[in-house]
Structure 1
């Protein structure tokens, strides 16, 4: 198995830092200082994003071990962009909060250039699985 370069590790750390700082500024103030109960889905989304940003702090120290976080983020955003935003954009009706969310989700387009795909292939696809018992 080929090692991941130091430059790629620093790029991964920069990506984790982007998530930590970005969501730290956008999400955490609302988590700490919200004054009224959230609607069900708003609460779910805010808490999931807060947990994601908190776990990305570990990515600063362990960029390869925390790769599944980035893969999850890449996957859900691509699914959302493909199944929600793109059909609306295609019909010319992408606007408002959905457009704003689509723009925020587009940051995911840098992920494929930073994720060490050879490492992902070696460690998640061809490496022998852990035993079941």
Structure 2
């Protein structure tokens, strides 16, 4: 199959490190340490999903190619949110401050497509035969 250059592996590791340090120090650990009352349902779901993403990104430092599905999931949901939620509000002139702040945060996803080794993704997730069903 396609080999991924050492440079691309370091780019992936740098992205995982950015996620681990940035998400960990700004969102995950402050949110877990400073929360004194039970989270509401969706806030709890979001915090736990972010903690899982953070944990899997730690694994990405060691196994950058094996953890690519985590980055693909991140790229997918953020792109969908920007297209389905943010873009219609923005084009209608109805974007509030909270949605705008979230959109600006989510727009960091623009760096992910430049780091992902797309030939590898195509070779391993599109062209390669899937696992057997029985």
| TM-score scaled by length of structure 2 | 0.95
**Structure 2 alignment gaps of length 5 or more:** none
Structure 1 position 52, deviation (Å): 0.2
Report the CA distance between 1:132 and its aligned residue. Answer: 1.8
Give the SS at the match of 2:133.
coil
Could you list the per-position Cα deviations for residues 45-100 of structure 1 after superposition, in whole angstroms to 9, with x for gaps in the alignment? 11101110111000000000000000000000000000001111111222221111
How far did 1:5 drift?
0.6
1:1-133 matches, within 5 Å, as 1-25=1-25, 26-133=27-134
For 1:80 and 1:35, locate their aligned partners in 2 and report how far apart those are by CA, in whole Å: 30
SS in 1 for 2:58: helix
3-state DSSP class of the match of 1:27? helix
Aligned length: 133
Runs of 4+, deviation exceeding 6 Å: none
Unpaired segments ≥5 residues, structure 1:
none
TM-score with structure 1 length normalisation? 0.96
